[in-house]
C-alpha cells in the first residue's frame, strides 16, 4: 500500500481517446507517475507508450496487472469491460481509478465495490466534473443561499459522427448515450437533489444500433420536486444545467467536460441579486487524479467512490427500464 509520502505509479489498461487526451496528461502533470500501458494489440501499446513517454508496454492487460512496479490502474476501457478489469485489478492488489460508469448495472457495481473492499484497495469512479472548483462553488451556493430547490434540468449531448464501429454504439459493450454521457446529468441531479423515487424515460435509436442515441428523462421526488435530464449523440455539443429554487436559480454552461485552457463561468440570481462568477482555467482531470492519490495515501473514501457509483447506477437502471416501455419505474 502507498503511504502519505509515496507517489503512485499508474498502469493504464487500454489506449482510449480519453486516456490520450485527458487523463494521461493529467497524471504526467501531477506528482505521480505513469509506469506502463497495456493493449490487446502489443504494437499499439508500444506506440502509445512511446508517444507518452511511458516506460513499459504490454500486449495483454493481464501482464500489466503482474507488473510489480504498478501501484494503481486507470481503466478507460469500453463500459462493458469496466467491472471485469476493476475486479481483476483489485484481485492483484491494485487501486483502481475507473472511467464512468463503473459497471453495466447497479448489481454489478455492488459486486465490484464489495470485491474492492474485500481486497482493501481504493476504488474511484471517474466523474471528473465533481472535482472542478466551479462545481464545488455551485454546491456551496445550493447549500448556503438557495432556499427550497424545486427542480434541476441537465443535458449532455454531442455529435457522434458516422462511425458505425464506435464502442459507444455497441450494445454488447454497454453503449448508448445514457451510459456514455447521460450518466453526468444523473450524477449532477442526485448531487443537488438527493436520491429520486421514480424515473421515466423515452429513448430513440437513430442509428439502428441497438442502443439509445437520444434520451429524455424525468426523475420524480416524493415531495413534488423533479428533474429533467437529456443525453444524445445526434446534435451539436451542449452540456449545461440549471437549478431552480424558490428564491432564485443557478445556471452553468460547458458544465461537465470543462476546458482546461479557458476560464469558465456560473451565473445566478438569488434573492434578486444577479451575478456571474468566473473561474480560472484548471485541469479537472488532474484534480481528480490528485484526489484519488490522496485517498490512497490516507486510506480514505473518494468523493466518487463505489457506493456513489451504485446509487448512480440505480437511477440509470430505472431510466433504462422505463425506456423499454414500462412507464414510470420505482428506484430501489
Cβ neighbors of 144 (< 8 A, separation 6 or more) are none
Q: What letters, b where the CB count within 10 A reaches 16 and e where it falls short, cover 6-33?
A: eebbbbbbbbbebbeebbbbbbbebebb
Whether the CB-CB separation of 331 and 318 falls below 8 Å is answered with yes
Q: What letters, b where the CB count within 10 A reaches 16 and e where it falls short, cover 303-321?
A: bbbbebbbbbbbbbbbbbb
Strand 198-204: give its sheet, edge to edge. 273-279, 264-270, 248-253, 238-245, 149-157, 226-232, 214-220, 198-204, 329-330
CB-based burial label for 220 (10 Å; 0-12, 13-18, 19+): middle
Q: Which of 88, 95, 100, 132 is catalytic?
A: 100
Q: Look at residue 244 and give its three-state secondary structure.
A: strand
**248's grid cell:** 432564485
55 closest CA partner among 41, 67, 40, 72: 67
CA distance 323 to 328: 9
Our answer to whether residue 21 is catalytic in this structure is no
Helix (H) or strand (E) holding 309: helix 306-321
CA distance 5 to 184: 33
CA distance 322 to 6: 47
What is the 8-class DSSP label of residue 111? H
Which residues carry out catalysis?
100
Amino acid at each position: 500500500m502507498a503511504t502519505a509520502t509515496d507517489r503512485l505509479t499508474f498502469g493504464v489498461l487500454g489506449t482510449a481517446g480519453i486516456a490520450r487526451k485527458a487523463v494521461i496528461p493529467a497524471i504526467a502533470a501531477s506528482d505521480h507517475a505513469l509506469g506502463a500501458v497495456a493493449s490487446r494489440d502489443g504494437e499499439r501499446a508500444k506506440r502509445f507508450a512511446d508517444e507518452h513517454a511511458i516506460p513499459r508496454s504490454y500486449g495483454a492487460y493481464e501482464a500489466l496487472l503482474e507488473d510489480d512496479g504498478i501501484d494503481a490502474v486507470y481503466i478507460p476501457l469500453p463500459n462493458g469491460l469496466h467491472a471485469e478489469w476493476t475486479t481483476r485489478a483489485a484481485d492483484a492488489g491494485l487501486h483502481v481509478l475507473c472511467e464512468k460508469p463503473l459497471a453495466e448495472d447497479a448489481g454489478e457495481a455492488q459486486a465490484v465495490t464489495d470485491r474492492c473492499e474485500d481486497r482493501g484497495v481504493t476504488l474511484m469512479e471517474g466523474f471528473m466534473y465533481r472535482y472542478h472548483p466551479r462545481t464545488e462553488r455551485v454546491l456551496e451556493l445550493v447549500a448556503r443561499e438557495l432556499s427550497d430547490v424545486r427542480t434541476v434540468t441537465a443535458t449532455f449531448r454531442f455529435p457522434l459522427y458516422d462511425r458505425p464501429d464506435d464502442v459507444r454504439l455497441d450494445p454488447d459493450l454497454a453503449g448508448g448515450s445514457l451510459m456514455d454521457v447521460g450518466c453526468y446529468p444523473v450524477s449532477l441531479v442526485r448531487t443537488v437533489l438527493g436520491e429520486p423515487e421514480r424515473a421515466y424515460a423515452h429513448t430513440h435509436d437513430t442509428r439502428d444500433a441497438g442502443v439509445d442515441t437520444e434520451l429524455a428523462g424525468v426523475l420524480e421526488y416524493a415531495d413534488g420536486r423533479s428533474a429533467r435530464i437529456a443525453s444524445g449523440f445526434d446534435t451539436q455539443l451542449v452540456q449545461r444545467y440549471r437549478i431552480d429554487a424558490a428564491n432564485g436559480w443557478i445556471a452553468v454552461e460547458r458544465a461537465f467536460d470543462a476546458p482546461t485552457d479557458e476560464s469558465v463561468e456560473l451565473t445566478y440570481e438569488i434573492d434578486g441579486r444577479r451575478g456571474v462568477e468566473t473561474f480560472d482555467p484548471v485541469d479537472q482531470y488532474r484534480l481528480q487524479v490528485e484526489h484519488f492519490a490522496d485517498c490512497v495515501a490516507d486510506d480514505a473514501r473518494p468523493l466518487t467512490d463505489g457506493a456513489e457509483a451504485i446509487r448512480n447506477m440505480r437511477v440509470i437502471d430505472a431510466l433504462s427500464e422505463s425506456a423499454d416501455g414500462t412507464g414510470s419505474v420505482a428506484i430501489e
